[in-house]
Amino acid sequence: MKKKKFQFTYTVAEDSSALAAEDAALLQQARKTTRRAYAPYSRFSVACAAKLANGRTVVGSNQENASYPVGICAERALLATVGTQYSDEPILTLAVAYHSHTGNSNRPISPCGMCRQALSEYEKRTGSPIRLLLSGMEGPVYIIDTIKDLLPLAFGNDDLGIRG
């Protein structure tokens, strides 16, 4: 038997003023897009903004439903748009922000398990790492190099013996 170790390194910026201008602008766009969320049930508005390799920016927000499981997270809403409008275009950076209407919005959140799986598939499909900027409406920003860091031992097309 052999023990194996997984670890990853990420960067913490004290706030968005410590970011490169392009990253700060993308995060600002994600923060602004929280207004587009439809989150009457959770009162937790999430939004993201993706910078694509072709220079375009795409946004997404969570869209909830009275039938709760029907709701979709901001990250997967965004992936559906990117996949449809710019199929196979690499996502260079994805900024995620949220506004909680019932609590603080000053510490980063990170994508839920289902979104990690969806982001992992997009990363594999394009062969290009998705860099993440995670934050609230203010406060620290986590910078993560790739979805691989958030989903060790990911299940994927190769496990099915299928080419993606």
Active site amino acids: 75
Q: Does 64 bind ligand THU (CB under 6 A)?
A: yes
Q: Does 78 bind ligand THU (CB under 6 A)?
A: no
Q: Does 44 bind ligand THU (CB under 6 A)?
A: yes
Looking at the Cβ atoms of 107 and 158, the one nearer to ligand THU is: 107
Neighbours of 142 (CB within 10 A): 17
Q: Does 12 bind ligand THU (CB under 6 A)?
A: no
**In the bound complex, what is the minimum distance in angstroms from residue 53's beta carbon to ligand THU?**
23
The DSSP string of 23-80 is HHHHHHHHHHHGGG-B-TTT-EEEEEEEEETTS-EEEEE-B--SSGGG-B-HHHHHHH
Q: Does 62 bind ligand THU (CB under 6 A)?
A: yes
The residues near 146 (Cβ < 8 Å, ≥ 6 apart) are 123, 129, 130, 131
Looking at the Cβ atoms of 23 and 75, the one nearer to ligand THU is: 75
**In the bound complex, what is the minimum distance in angstroms from residue 2's beta carbon to ligand THU?**
34
Q: Which of 39, 94, 141, 143 binds ligand THU (CB under 6 A)?
A: 39
Q: Residue 117 has which token pair?
A: 């799986």
Residues 82-121 that bind ligand THU (CB under 6 A): 109, 111-112, 115
Size, binding site for ligand THU by CB under 6 A: 14
**Rounded (10°) angle between helices 113-126 and 74-85:** 20
Q: Does 80 bind ligand THU (CB under 6 A)?
A: no
The DSSP string of 88-116 is TPPEEEEEEEEEESSS---S-----HHHH
Gap between the Cα atoms of 30 and 83, Å rounded: 19
Provide the binding-site residues for ligand THU, judged by CB under 6 A: 39, 42, 44, 46, 62, 64, 71, 73-75, 109, 111-112, 115
